[in-house]
Amino acid sequence: MNEAPAGRGPASFGAIFMVFLAAGGISFGGGVLAYLRDYLVNGRHWLDDDDFLDALEISETLPGLNSVNMAVIVGDRLRGVAGAMVAVIGLMIPGMAVIMTLGVLWEHQRQNQNVNAFLVGVAAAAVGLLLTVTLQLGHKQFVRPLDLLLIAATFVAVSVCKISLLWVLLIIGPIAVWFYRPGGAMVTAERFVHLRERLHSHRAHWRH
């Protein structure tokens, strides 16, 4: 996992540090994953979309902050354990400096309506960044019936039924693994195609 991506030169420790330092420094509001994708995939070309999505999937299933998990995974992929340490340090330094400063200032500005409005605006922008990354990375999943079904089930369970995310992962996760077991996805896809053909056949029959 510590090999540089095929066809690309090895990333230097300095470059890894600066990329994650930049992402951590300008991602105020939670949009760090959007910046990381832009830097790692579009900027440095250290990863492609599939690589980034694989790292993100692992990060989502592990304890801790997704951005820190991503730093560990990507840093290790690029330069091993040392690369992971450099990536995490670069990512964490800006946030630590900013939050310590804001923690001191917040006590004096807590009731300031302009400050509160600014924070609300930043949060909205962060949601937009994350939505952009979701659409860019998930376009392949948005066209397959099984993926759409799993996405809808997860959304309804978490957002509508208010089921704990842990229970959703424990229930829907194994179901997804079973469907996508070797050979399973192909069989499921064939069933969806067969079901769609039957629906079209019945619809044509009803029209006549």
**Average pLDDT over all residues of the chain:** 78
Which of 34-43, 74-83, 138-147, 186-195 has the least mean pLDDT? 186-195
Which of 99-108, 156-165, 180-189 has the least mean pLDDT? 180-189
pLDDT at 147: 78
pLDDT at 7: 42
- Is the pLDDT reported for residue 119 higher than 90? no
pLDDT in tens, 8-19: 557 899 999 999
pLDDT at 33: 82
Considering the chain, what percentage of its residues have pLDDT values greater than 70? Answer: 74
pLDDT at 93: 92
Q: What is the DSSP string of 89-129?
A: HHHHHHHHHHHHHHHHHHHHHTT-HHHHHHHHHHHHHHHHH
Determine the Cα–Cα distance for residues 79 and 13; give it in Å rounded to an integer: 8
Terminus-to-terminus CA distance in the chain, angstroms?
59
Q: What is the CA radius of gyration of the chain?
A: 21
Alpha-carbon torsion angle 23, 27, 33, 36, nearest 10 = -20
- Is the pLDDT reported for residue 190 higher than 60? no
Query: What's the rounded mean pLDDT across residues 198-208?
Result: 56
Determine the Cα–Cα distance for residues 96 and 79; give it in Å rounded to an integer: 24
What are the two backbone dihedrals, phi and then psi, of residue 28, each rounded to the nearest 5 degrees?
-60, 125
pLDDT at 10: 74
